[in-house]
Amino acid sequence: MDFLFTDLPEDLSPKLRWLAKHGITIYQSEDGRWSAYKTGTTTLISRATEDDTLVALANRLKVKLWNEDT
């Protein structure tokens, strides 16, 4: 079934496009906490939820969020 719809372009969500645009990686650790960092910096943020982590990182980096970005 992998051969179906192979001609369709990949369409990332606004959040995934924002992560890629800003070089941000986010992951969940074994204890359930979320961490995010910006490639090429030493900025690392860790919070209980994915969105809280991304909001805190965006505030630290002074960038607009995916739903604020134009």
pLDDT digits (tens, 9 = 90+) for 17-54: 999 999 999 999 999 999 999 999 999 999 999 999 99
User: CB of 35 within 8 A of CB of 44?
Assistant: yes
Pairwise CA distance, residues 16 & 62, whole Å: 18
Q: What is the pLDDT of residue 3?
A: 67
Number of folded domains in the chain? Answer: 1
Residue 70 has pLDDT above 60, yes or no: no
| 31 within domain boundaries | yes
Residue 55 lies in a domain: yes
**Is residue 45 one of the residues assigned to a domain?**
yes
Q: Would residue 67 count as lying in a domain?
A: no
Tokens 């030493």 locate to 42
Over 60: is that where the pLDDT of 13 sits? Answer: yes
pTM score: 0.80
